[in-house]
């Protein structure tokens, strides 16, 4: 079966690699976003998907707007593809494009639809404290992730998972599910199931204001924000910006998912008075990090990144900056 693959970030790479290694599929071209300038040198950098395709000598097309690019539209039309496969491409496909492949356009979406339609399903499911997510393959239509569903695969979410770790797990899950989906579609073994729009929720693009931390929120809400929008959530400490990369909510509800060391920490702080200000350092724990008061509950800083420096453990930050009880994060 002839495939054209649409994808851009690291999340899409396992799906592309799985297609390239499978004897039933011939990936005739890859469509990905244009190279972007990145890093201190501001050098043009190819997408992870382009890097893989180029190494395998697969033709790569990079229109800035695929719906409006006459050359790419002509190439797609002339390809004779059986399927278009889309995994985190980053552009919306027009109905004209969706109608081109013989057997349809298949999307690998990082949620259990109809929940978390949209651009950032992994981030928002963590932000909202979900305990399970997964992958849905679907037949694409002109809507935003509204097409009929094909297959689903599930994975639990651990309390310490962040968006990067969960995306890596889902990308592998999605690659396997995509292969199964294509094979079953080709043999007419799948009956597409329409989505229930009444159950739909949305996962919009993340904005800069989503990264700002408000210590008056609960410990679990802050923890979910930090891991959901990893690695970009920011606080202010001693009048300087500080990225908060990893935390632990010190709440007995999550004890079973934590190491014995962290379980003991929860036990030690169980009876501590909560009459401190949100953002205030309650205690520093040797070898671990700082414990912070929130609007409800305590949170442990496991990893941070001061402005202009590399990420460091919570304890290295405490030790290197001589943090003291009573100081406040803003």
**In whole angstroms, what separates CA 198 from the centre of its chain?**
24
What rounded mean pLDDT belongs to the chain?
95
Q: Domains of the chain: which residue ranges? A: 2-199, 209-321
Most confident of 110-114, 274-278, 305-309: 110-114
Residue 91 and residue 181: Cα distance in Å, rounded? 22
Of the pLDDT bands very low, low, confident and very high (cuts 50, 70, 90), residue 268 is confident
Residue 139 and residue 108: Cα distance in Å, rounded? 9
pLDDT of 275 reads 81
Residue 229 corresponds to which tokens in the numbers above?
């929008």
Per-residue buried b or exposed e for 134-173, using 16+ beta carbons within 10 Å of the residue's own CB: bbbbbbbbeeebbbbbbbbeebebebbbbbebbbebbbeb
Assign 315 to helix, strand or coil. Answer: helix
When pLDDT is averaged across residues 159-173 and rounded to a whole number, the result is 98
Of the pLDDT bands very low, low, confident and very high (cuts 50, 70, 90), residue 273 is low
pLDDT of 316 reads 97
| Beta-carbon contacts of residue 39 (< 8 Å; ≥ 6 apart) | 45
Which residue in the block uniquely carries the two structure tokens 């690699």? 17
* Residue 14 exposure: Cα atoms within 13 Å on the Cβ side: 15
pLDDT of 41 reads 75
Q: How many CB atoms lie within 10 A of CB 14?
A: 21
Instruction: Between 266 and 215, name the one with better pLDDT.
Output: 215
Residue 84 and residue 104: Cα distance in Å, rounded? 7
Helices (H), the chain: 13-21, 48-55, 70-78, 95-98, 121-127, 163-186, 219-228, 260-268, 314-321
To the question of whether residue 111 is assigned a binding role by annotation, the answer is yes
Residue 5 and residue 17: Cα distance in Å, rounded? 11
Q: Is the pLDDT of residue 271 over 90?
A: no
Helix 13-21 to helix 163-186 angle (10° resolution) is 40
Alpha-carbon dihedral sign for residues 82, 85, 91, 93: positive
Residue 325 and residue 165: Cα distance in Å, rounded? 32
- Percentage of the chain exceeding pLDDT 90: 92
Of the pLDDT bands very low, low, confident and very high (cuts 50, 70, 90), residue 167 is very high
Q: What is the pLDDT of residues 147-161, one digit of tens each?
A: 999 999 999 999 999
Cβ atoms of 215 and 244 within 8 Å: the answer is no
To the question of whether residue 113 is assigned a binding role by annotation, the answer is yes
Cβ atoms of 25 and 182 within 8 Å: the answer is yes
Provide the whole-model pTM.
0.94
Q: What is the pLDDT of residues 22-73, one digit of tens each?
A: 999 999 999 999 999 887 777 889 999 999 999 999 999 999 999 999 999 9
Given CATH 3.40.50.300, say whether it is the number of domain 2-199.
no
Residue 89 and residue 93: Cα distance in Å, rounded? 10
Q: Is the pLDDT of residue 104 over 70?
A: yes
In degrees and rounded to multiples of 5, residue 181 shows phi and psi of: -65, -50
To the question of whether residue 135 is assigned a binding role by annotation, the answer is no
- Percentage of the chain exceeding pLDDT 70: 100
Assign 243 to helix, strand or coil. Answer: strand
In degrees and rounded to multiples of 5, residue 241 shows phi and psi of: -70, 140
Q: Is 118 left (phi over 0), alpha (psi -120 to 50) or beta?
A: left
Residue 57 corresponds to which tokens in the numbers above?
């000598």
Range in 111-125, 166-180, 220-234, 248-262 the model is least confident about: 248-262
Assign 10 to helix, strand or coil. Answer: helix
For the domain made up of 209-321, the CATH class stated in words is alpha beta
To the question of whether residue 281 is assigned a binding role by annotation, the answer is no
When pLDDT is averaged across residues 215-227 and rounded to a whole number, the result is 97
Q: What is the pLDDT of residues 279-297, one digit of tens each?
A: 999 999 999 999 999 999 9
């Amino acid at each position: 079966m002839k495939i054209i693959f649409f994808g851009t970030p690291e999340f899409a790479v396992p799906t592309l690699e799985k297609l390239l290694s499978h004897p039933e599929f011939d990936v005739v071209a890859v469509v990905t976003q244009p190279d972007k300038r990145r890093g201190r040198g501001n050098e043009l950098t190819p997408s992870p998907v382009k890097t893989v395709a180029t190494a395998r000598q697969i033709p790569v097309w990079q229109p800035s707007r695929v719906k409006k690019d006459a050359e790419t539209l002509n190439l797609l039309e002339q390809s004779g593809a059986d399927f278009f496969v889309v995994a985190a491409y980053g552009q919306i496909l027009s109905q004209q494009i969706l109608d081109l492949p013989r057997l349809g356009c298949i999307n690998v979406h990082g949620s259990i639809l109809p929940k978390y339609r949209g651009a950032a399903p992994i981030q928002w499911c963590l932000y909202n404290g979900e305990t399970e997510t997964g992958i849905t393959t679907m037949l694409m239509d002109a809507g935003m992730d509204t097409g009929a569903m094909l297959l689903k695969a599930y994975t639990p979410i651990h309390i310490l998972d962040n968006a990067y770790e969960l995306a890596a797990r889902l990308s592998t899950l999605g690659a396997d599910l995509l292969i199964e989906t294509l094979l079953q579609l080709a043999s007419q073994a799948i009956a597409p199931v329409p989505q229930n729009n009444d159950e739909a929720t949305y996962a919009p693009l993340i904005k800069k204001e989503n990264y700002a931390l408000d210590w008056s929120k609960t410990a679990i809400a802050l923890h979910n924000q930090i891991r959901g929008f990893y690695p970009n959530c920011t606080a202010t400490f001693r009048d300087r910006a500080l990225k908060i990369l990893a935390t632990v909510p010190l709440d007995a509800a999550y004890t079973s998912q934590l190491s014995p060391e962290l379980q003991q920490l929860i036990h030690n702080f169980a009876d501590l008075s909560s009459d401190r200000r949100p953002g205030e350092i309650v205690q520093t724990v040797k070898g671990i990090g700082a414990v912070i008061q929130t609007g409800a509950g305590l949170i442990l800083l496991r990893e941070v990144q001061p402005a202009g420096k590399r990420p460091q453990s919570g304890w290295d930050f405490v030790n290197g900056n001589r943090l003291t009880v009573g100081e406040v994060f803003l």
